[in-house]
Homo-oligomer: A and B are copies of this chain.
Amino acid sequence: MITSINNERIKEISKLNNKKYRKEKGLFIVEGEHLVEEAYKHNLLVEVYSLNETSYENSYIVTESVMKKISNLDSIPNIIGICKIKKEEEIGNRILILDNIQDPGNLGTIIRSAVAFNVSTIVLSNDSVDLYNSKVIRATEGMIFNINIISRDLFSFVPSIKNQYKIYGTNVESGTLLKNVEKVEKCAIIMGNEGNGVKKELQKICDENIYIEMNKQCESLNVGVATSIILYELGR
């Protein structure tokens, strides 16, 4: 049983709350039974720290104060898991590109919907909120393990796929009505920042802009909602 927050191992693990350290180690933390179980199912679980005994390998019992030191939650979980960052896979036919999404809850929700509607790869711009931020992971409801997610400089990535994929931008003001968008085999959809939308320089590279028709009283939808509606419609 680990009782001291000054234990070397605990100090190392707490550092995983820092983005730079996560990248260096190729590890991240998940909190709560559901996420630990999902990590285990995907062979990405390395170690477990919990308040009680568990049936996982490499499982350590810790005190509540130690758990509090590691956890990012206001009320500490019973269990946390240390997970390997997933290896990159082939990008596949259905790509979702996220240009500077900043809200962790939005990113988590988008990942969950992307799994639901069969996106093959999510491409995060380098200026997006960090994927392994604890709030992002919680909002994915475990779906972070079920999809290929990569980080790229979009100004080089988007042109590099331009001739193989139909590239859809999104715009809150104009474009092809979502219901009229042609469904193609290989497509990439670019969704933009909460306040500013897709960067102008990226919009220029798009083959077409998608527009969701809505009541004029409403200027725009939440970006998680807009992304999900587009993925739902184009996935049918």
Additional 16 contacts, C-beta under 8 A, given A113-B221, A113-B225, A179-B236? A109-B225, A112-B218, A112-B221, A113-B222, A115-B217, A116-B218, A117-B215, A118-B215, A139-B222, A141-B220, A143-B217, A143-B218, A146-B217, A222-B228, A225-B228, A229-B229
Q: Say yes or no: is A212 at the interface (Cβ < 8 Å to chain B).
A: yes
CA distance A143 to B229 in the complex (A): 19
Cβ distance A90 to chain B, nearest Cβ, rounded Å: 18
Cβ distance A171 to chain B, nearest Cβ, rounded Å: 15
User: Cβ of A219: which chain B residues have Cβ within 8 Å of it?
Assistant: 141
Q: Say yes or no: is A224 at the interface (Cβ < 8 Å to chain B).
A: yes
Q: Say yes or no: is A232 at the interface (Cβ < 8 Å to chain B).
A: yes
B109 touches A224 (CB 8 A): yes
A binding-site residues for B, Cβ under 8 Å: 105, 109, 112-113, 115-118, 139, 141, 143, 146, 179, 212, 214-215, 217-222, 224-225, 228-229, 232-233, 236
CA distance A112 to B224 in the complex (A): 12
User: Cβ of A112: which chain B residues have Cβ within 8 Å of it?
Assistant: 218, 221-222, 225
B215 touches A232 (CB 8 A): no
5 A-B pairs whose Cβ atoms sit less than 8 Å apart in the complex = A112-B218, A141-B222, A143-B218, A228-B229, A232-B232
B224 touches A222 (CB 8 A): yes
CA distance A179 to B236 in the complex (A): 9
Cβ distance A65 to chain B, nearest Cβ, rounded Å: 26
A222 touches B146 (CB 8 A): no
Given the contacts A105-B105, A179-B236, A236-B179, A116 and B221 also touching, CB distance less than 8 Å: yes
CA distance A116 to B139 in the complex (A): 24
User: Cβ of A118: which chain B residues have Cβ within 8 Å of it?
Assistant: 215
Cβ distance A122 to chain B, nearest Cβ, rounded Å: 14
CA distance A139 to B179 in the complex (A): 27
Q: Among the interface residues A115, A222, A224, which one has the most CB atoms of the partner chain B within 10 A?
A: A222
- Which 4 residue pairs are nearest across A and B when measured between Cβ atoms? A116-B214, A116-B218, A225-B228, A115-B218
